[in-house]
């Protein structure tokens, strides 16, 4: 029995690259923060891995914190479509990642303060990372409306964390935003962002 299969028989994307968006960049920032949270992977390696698909495969040649995946662990990468980032999205990602790192202690204290009824050690690690991402974006990205940040983080929570994470994060962030606005730490500029 002979089978003559054409390319049409396999509905695989013909795109060789997709255009990066702010939404996608935010998702990649989450991945970078999650990868570096334990301190086992360096920020530069994680950023290049997640944004530019650069991999360090040989554990013998790489130092601790430089090796991300082994070739056997990335079989599915053949199906990935590379992302074509513009400079604004890369700058956004670097800005938010840097803000997350520099504000980590302060943000952790804010989360603890406004999650008084919760044992901090029992809050899902990804929920904490998402709240850190939100606070970093709220404080360091004056051009992004508060509602956009909140909605995007809640969507990421629904996609990557627990069923109840969106509601939990929303409640904590509402209290954090109120405090940050009262101390003028959130300053939004640009058309439609000023009161």
* pTM exceeds 0.85, yes or no: no
CA pair distance 104, 98, nearest whole angstrom: 10
pLDDT tens-place string over residues 65-74:
555 555 544 4
Instruction: Give the pLDDT confidence of 86-130 residue by residue, as tens digits.
Output: 999 999 999 999 999 999 999 999 999 999 888 998 999 999 999
List, in order of start, the domains of the chain with CATH numbers.
18-84 (no CATH), 103-182 (1.10.940.10)
Distance, in Å, from the CA atom of 77 to the CA atom of 107, rounded to the nearest integer, reads 34
Length of the chain: 195
| Residue matched to tokens 């049409």 | 8
What is the rounded CA–CA span in Å between residue 12 and residue 16? 11
Answer yes or no: are the C-beta atoms of 189 and 146 closer than 8 Å.
no
Q: Which stretches of the chain drop beneath a pLDDT of 50?
A: 1, 5, 9-13, 59, 72-79, 192, 194-195
Which has the closest alpha carbon to 70: 57, 60, 55, 80? 57
């Amino acid at each position: 029995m002979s089978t003559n299969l054409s390319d049409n028989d396999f509905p695989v994307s013909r795109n060789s690259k997709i255009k990066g968006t702010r939404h996608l960049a935010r998702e990649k920032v989450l991945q970078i923060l999650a990868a570096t949270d334990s301190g086992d992977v360096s920020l530069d390696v994680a950023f290049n891995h997640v944004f530019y698909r650069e991999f360090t495969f040989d554990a013998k040649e790489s130092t601790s914190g430089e090796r991300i995946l082994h070739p056997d662990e990335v079989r599915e990468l053949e199906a990935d479509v590379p992302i074509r980032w513009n400079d604004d999205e890369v700058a956004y990602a670097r800005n938010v990642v840097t803000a997350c790192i520099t504000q980590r202690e302060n943000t952790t204290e804010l989360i603890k303060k406004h999650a008084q009824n919760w044992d901090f050690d029992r809050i899902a690690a990804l929920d904490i990372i998402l709240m850190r991402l939100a606070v970093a974006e709220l404080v360091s990205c004056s051009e992004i409306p508060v509602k956009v940040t909140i909605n995007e983080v809640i969507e990421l929570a629904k996609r990557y964390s627990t069923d109840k994470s969106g509601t939990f994060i929303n409640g904590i962030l509402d209290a954090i935003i109120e405090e940050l606005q009262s101390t003028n730490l959130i300053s939004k500029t640009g058309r439609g962002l000023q009161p």
